[in-house]
A and B are shown apart, each in its own frame.
Chain A
Amino acid sequence: MTTGHTGTTGTTWRDRLAGPLADPAGEAGHADGHPPRMGFFTDTSICIGCKACEVACKEWNGVPDTGLDLLGSSYDNTGALGANSWRHVAFVEQRVPAERVELGMPGIGAPEQPQRAETDDAGVRWLMSSDVCKHCTHAACLDVCPTGSLFRTEFGTVVVQEDICNGCGYCVPACPYGVIERRESDGRAFKCTLCYDRLRDGLEPACAKACPTDSIQFGPLDELRERAERRVEQLHDRGVPEARLYGEDPDDGVGGDGAFFLLLDEPEVYGLPPDPVVTTRDLPAMWKHMGMAAVAAAAGALAAFLGGRR
């Protein structure tokens, strides 16, 4: 457990808004002895697309349904993460060339199957992946929140405090993943809380608890990262070179995600941005520019005023 790092001394403003950060909770003022950073590792190679995560999340958090809308996007009728969908299972159907499904290939990704009649494509692979808020190390939604509604918990997760949120919506465009959204019926912003209330009592989040195959794993982020790396190595050894992690790298544009994934294809295939960057990374520079601009504007105004006096 790596706690006790309060994060104030020696941390530059730039560090607080981008780059690796060992202890986001400590940096956000949670005292020594706060719990380790908790997160999700979603291993899509064992996801069966049952959507238990979506329902378990809604049941626990009382999230409204989104109505009836057949999307035609394979078996996905949720579409995207949003104010009323804090978990979203993507379904990706792909035609795969013959060499991918020929006899003797490992059964992760696409099963062996006969060649499709009268075409060069051997068959199909059906990828499923349960998406969720990434609980970024550097969370732009939080950084731009003017009310303090969005805050960093002692578990290092990012949570909207509904009693504070005034529905300004600044967080919505700030999110590099398009996760957070205002609820139409209510105006406030909503997203995954990583079941903050449950964590307070040592329970795991509802989605991870329900997940029948343990595709969604919950735990201390350090442990999850180690486990995920071992899993990728294992899959590579088993002849699945396309296995890769997404969002686990602390050097990425958001300082690493609190919820990261093992994917079997490019992130875009699953609807994930390939290279997300915290939108507030350049804030210090922007403030500097803004400050100079403000001085210039004030000088200009003064000049105009003085000029007016003349």
Chain B
Amino acid sequence: MGVRQWIEGWPVVRQLTGADPLGRGAAAESRVTSALRPRTSQADRVVASVCPYCAVGCGQKVYVRDGKVTQIEGDPDSPISRGRLCPKGSASKQLVTNPNRVTTVLYRRPHGTEWEELPLDRAMDMIADRVIETRRRHWQEEDGGQRVRRTMAIASLGGATLDNEENYLMKKLYTALGAIQIENQARI
């Protein structure tokens, strides 16, 4: 930038030489303002999604930059929602990016008074052991003389907030395990 350009960039010079003698508009524009663009225009990609709150199923567009979600807003293409979102849907970015999310496995040992940290693979292994052992010890081949082939000692609650594919795998695995007390919010 030459000296002349630099001087011409001064607001007061712009104000006195331009069409904005009161310095309330064009002459007052700062360099940051001049460069201003919506952050969505800098997204690496835009991903089509669906709001995770209620069952209306509003379309969402998820803007991603550098591996982070930078914005979530309504998808105008959706014939259901036409780009609109309610306050919960509008808070989706905070839902997925907020620091209150717990991102590590926590473990409370029997009779423990505090949480402890636990590696994920260790937790998975321990849970698998618990399932196998509980199932082994509390297996019912028959109930009142009738064949049931099940365990009444393992139960599950949840599914209404999950994907169909997740509910499907859960039901499939639990059924193969012989667990039957599988329930979700639809009962509530």
Contacts and interface: CB of A to CB of B under 8 A. Distances in A.
A301 to B, nearest CB: 29
Contacts of B36: 196-197, 200
A203 B38 contact: yes
B52 interface: no
Contacts, number: 122
A52 interface: yes
Contact of A52 (B22, B32, B71, B85): B85
A200 B93 contact: no
Given A56-B73, A200-B36, A152 B85 contact: no
A240 interface: no
Contact of A29 (B25, B37, B89): B25
Nearest to B92: A59
Contacts of B84: 52, 209-212
Contacts of A210: 73-74, 84-86, 89-90
A161 interface: yes
Interface stretch (B13-21, B107-115, B155-163, B172-180): B13-21
B147 interface: no
Interface centre among A27, A59, A153, A203 (most CB of B within 10 A): A59
A198 B19 contact: no
A50 B86 contact: yes
B71 A59 contact: yes
B27 interface: yes
Interface string A162-176: 111000000000000
A151 B32 contact: no
A16 interface: yes
A206 interface: yes
Contact of B87 (A50, A164, A195, A206): A50
A223 B96 CA distance: 38
B89 A52 contact: yes
Contact of A6 (B19, B23, B41, B90): B19
Interface of A: 6-8, 16, 25, 27-31, 50-52, 54-56, 59-60, 142-143, 148-154, 159, 161-164, 195-198, 200-201, 203, 206, 209-212
Given A59-B91, A149-B28, 13 more contacts: A28-B24, A28-B26, A29-B25, A30-B25, A52-B89, A54-B87, A56-B90, A151-B25, A164-B30, A196-B36, A200-B38, A201-B38, A210-B90
20 contacts: A25-B25, A29-B19, A29-B20, A30-B20, A30-B25, A52-B86, A54-B87, A55-B87, A56-B90, A143-B24, A151-B29, A151-B33, A152-B24, A161-B28, A161-B32, A163-B31, A164-B30, A209-B74, A210-B84, A210-B86
Give 10 nearest A-B pairs by CB, closest first: A28-B25, A29-B20, A29-B26, A148-B28, A151-B28, A152-B25, A55-B90, A56-B90, A29-B19, A55-B87
